[in-house]
Structure 1
Amino acid sequence: MDAAPLTVAPAGEERLYRRLAARLSIQTKLMMILLLTAIASVAIVGFVEFQYGAKELQLAATNKLVQARELQRRAITGLFADMTNSLTVFSGGAVASGALTAFTAGFDELARVAVTPEQQRAIADYYRDNFTKALGERAGDQPDVAAFLPTSNAQRYLQAHYTVADSQRSDGDSSAWAAANAQFNDIFGDIVHLNGYQDGLLLDTRGNVVYSVNKGVDLGTNVLTGPYRESGLQGAYRKTLAANAVNFVWITDFAPYQPNLDTPTAWLVSPVGTKGVVEGVMALALPSAKITEIMTVGRDWDAAGLGRTAESYLAGPDGLMRSDSRLFLEDPDRYRREAMAAGTSESTVDRALRWGTTTLVQPVAGPGLRAAQRGQSGTLNTGHDYLGKRELTAYAPLTVPNSDLQWSILSTREYADAYSGVTSFLRRVVLATTGVIFAICMLAMLLARLFLQPIRRLQAAAQRISAGDYSAVVPACTADEIGDLTRAFNDMSRSLRTKEEMLDQQRRQNDELMLSLMPESLVRRYRGGEQAIADEHHNVSVIYAELQGIEQVSAEVTASELVTLVDDLVRQFDAAAEAVGVERIRTMHNGYLAGCGLTTPRLDGVHRVVEFACEMQRIVERFAIKSGHRLSLWAAINTGEVVSGLVGRSGVTYDLWGPAVNRAYQLRRDTTESGIYVTAAVRDMLDEDQKFVAVGTGDAQDQIWRLSETP
């Protein structure tokens, strides 16, 4: 095969190119070089910045989802911890023990009480026409009535008088069980209803349900041998009795519970007894709706900042949800379409709609769930959710002590929604890069002309300095007068830059000093020239504390040691205040004034200030033990309206005034002993777990309380 001939430009064309290049001025050539270099630089920088910005936006979206996951995980574990503590306290008390004793005795007595044929027929009719019919409609098949009918005389008696009659108190019942019900029913009813439980049961040591708040079909049954022995309650009952400890609590996973028409129910079970003797068991039925309420933030996703598609849900080891789907709650019809399109069977979707929940119904298998079930925590952006959408997932295992829960928590958001900011950022980068390139083109033409004009170059550099850019330096390319002027200009630029750095350092020191005296918002206003700065605040919690014994210490140590001692204590107080979100106002002599809710409104300001006071007390106690000096803390806490502002001119002071502050100061006259004192307003806002002792009324004629136990 012949080789292709080489193409050689004619001699005439080469001479034409040379003539055109020769005719281009140096200014034109320089402008072209500057344009090509600048455009290439901007393009590279734009690309790099886009890559970095996109990565940061993706990281921000992921971090937001992780934060939502952690908030929900803490909320769920906190819920179970609160319920466990409450159940332990109540089941181990005398009320629960007395109730169980009374109901058990009454239940045993009913074994010998006659049940009329009419009552037995009413029971059979109720199970046939009401309970099994409703259970069949929910489950999708008709159950056998005979399998659920009461088998013991006591069970028939109780269900005839309470379950069939749909009554909490039967007027026709004069048994000992009825007397116990009249005495304790309201107490247990309040526990169940106020805490969102579905039902509450008391069981004796033989497995008999001797009491039920709802008086349902499980009243009088036996969890070991009765018709509902396959429920999760049986295992929890056995485990609770086997623990043989009155402070034990066991929590079961959600499972359908037939007496509640197969509603997904979890059980919190604890022994009942006093003095370490287990007398029976108390069981509280937790419906899945309570968990869903937390996982869906009360269905107010927008207020929680979750956007259009983000949601958090729980999943069990069986790969089924333990809380409701967001789309299921917002738009059931759309949920049906998308879930079936993603592969969920029609029967499963229909069951979720029939039950009114996706708990124990909707499968959510995916890589995130599998990783969480292996005990891992992390994020994924490659999986698809149960609706078939590509999603960003933050997953983690959920650990609940004293339970058989093996749940996983997943916070998800549709991929397109999560990374919508990246698309917007790309559009902005393209527009900005185009604008910058256009600006560079114009600037290149200008610089090309100015390159041949050294005086204008110095002028441009001088303009940069006048605008505050002291880094401007002009190259000294010649050894003539222009070169000398250029070098003198550069010396001036370096001198100005050095002075500017010194001024910046001084400004930073001034900023740090002012921020140590007042909040940042007041610093800006003070620098803005406001003459009188004062603000009114509502619902602010204040604490005024004094070190007692400092006068004796001052007589025992040198001045330097005294200042070091006080400085150490104040630094520890400041660190504790910052840790709990309390703002120090000022220190005076042996006093310390602080508040919560001034610059940042807080709903839990009273709790934060009390926590801070307790930490101050612990700091003083530790310091007294370590140093050997007899020091103690007196502190007064109040809440209400205050006025903050700046006073003075040569020496500016940030201070607080108002009723809340005045009352805190007044408590110093009303109380003399060391300790933490609070007003009645503060006491009313605190938890009952905190112990207070009334110490009098004082000049203001309102009750003063002293914290008797430091948490």
Structure 2
Amino acid sequence: MAENVEGPQIVANYRPLSQASQYLQYHYLVNSVDSEEGNTSPTDESIYAQHHAAYHPTFKKLIDQYGYSNFYLIDFNSGEIVYSAYKHPDFATSLDRGPYRLSGLADIVAAVRNNPGRGFVQIVDFKPYVPNMAAPMAFLATPIFNGPHIVGILALQMPPERLNAILIGNQEWEAEGLGETGQVYVVGEDALMRSQSRELIDDADAYRETLRDIGLSSQTVDLVYNLNTSVLLQPVDTEATQAAMAGETDTKIIQDYKGKPVLSAYAPLRLEGLRWAVLAEMDEAEALEPITTMQIYMGTMAVIITLIVAFLSGLIGQAFARPVRRLIKASEQLQEGESAIDVSANGTDEFAQLGRLFQKLAQRFSHQNQLLENKELENETLLKNILPEPVVTRFKKGENPIANTVQQATILTATVLGLAQYSSSEKITTAFSALMSEFDRVSQQFGLEPQNMADETYLAVCGLSDVYFDHKQRGVNVAQEMLRILQSVNSQYQVNLSLKIGVHSGSFVAGVVGTKPFTYKLWGDAIRVAIQLPEQAEPNQIVVTQPIYERLKDRHNLSTHGSITVEGMETLATWHLVAEEAPVGVTV
């Protein structure tokens, strides 16, 4: 490993810290049997070994079938790796305080913790992973729920070969229209390759000379050959790479990373958590002679780019969700106290065996845990009605005080007019309740979090718990939808209510205030501006401040409205939104 990692390697840094880690690494690394089923221990007679023997063949078969290089189960709170299909030095270590706390696997655990939504899948880019001899590895992960509770994290290790299988295929370059010099590859935002170079495959010695000619150090060149990969080692800082990273798609003659003229077709490749560019290049002389070859080549490139996008999109959302969905469902049934669990797997295969094991576990534990879990569920539900989900976790841990500075968020404030004119409290209460329920629904749909407010004021924030780069657009979209909802409620309940809406963006502080009882409060200049902003609006009008105007002036018809003065602050200019047919589209 020392050949692949910079700096001196001290053995003590990699020793397991806890007694449990030492025990597991001894039995499953030092004193293990490496078979077709992976690392097993002939000497471990613990309860862990019994569960390992029951589940390990299924998990091992799962990653082999889908082409991943490892499968991890990680404790959500402690960050400890409680299981891995292939036992490497990272097995049984802590990703919070152990030797791999700065690794890509630790990064994906942090990403899931920061956004632990049910069904959300996180991905982190390729990074040298020391337990695999510093080979480049990417990771996918999703939280594991037991009912409403997060009990762990499921992570998959993805080697570059998954991506190479699409770009390189069977290395039949000419049959695929790439000729003698063409290649398709992916580059990351650090201008380093994320896939294998064709030159390394075709002529390793010539590629070695190429790397030296472009100025790579001898250490980097040796590392390419030790790992037999160009991923994260070959720089491609060319005009095409820079343009694709800037969001451009084009085809032109450029100088490649060797300084030779090539015909380059490039495009950005944007996925949640990744910022890549895909390039298809061929030497200029070969690409332009004859023209028919060029046509085949370009058509092939378009198909390949489409396949890459489809492959990675499907990979993130579907690759491993389907095989484990039945396991998650069975866990939820176990939490609810059911003893007859059906995982929809009949027969003698691995999933059928796993289902029967779940049934036995349910009969053993459901009665003992039911009362306690029901009580915890009640408390959890009450807390989530008051606090954002990330704050609930901190509150339960006993943190005090709990306060965060929100650097960039959008605050939507609306004032409902016309409630006092109705003498029938039942009729107006029903209409007002329906209106607020619909406001909550559309806010949550677009990622806004409603806040508890008094009287006729409605306030929701985008960017409070989760980060959205388009939070200003989402805030305006919700404002537009609220006006449509108002029109529908007025018609349905035969009332005549109106709205004054303000949308502002800025920083503020959010925290838990008080003890018995406690409340969740937002304060700061941005909140003060947002609360007063509806006063500037006409009925059924949306008024925005300069941060919103500057971001969305090219997408919406915004007209100068006036200004707003808040005590202790400078006068702020305002604009109002001219009515539109539909809000600008945004992914929700």
TM-score range, shorter chain: 0.3 to 0.5
Greater relative CO, 1 or 2 (CA 8 Å, sep 6+):
1
Where is the strand percentage greater, Structure 1 or Structure 2? Answer: 2
| CA radius of gyration, larger in | 1
TM-score normalized with structure 2 length: 0.47
Higher share in helix: 1
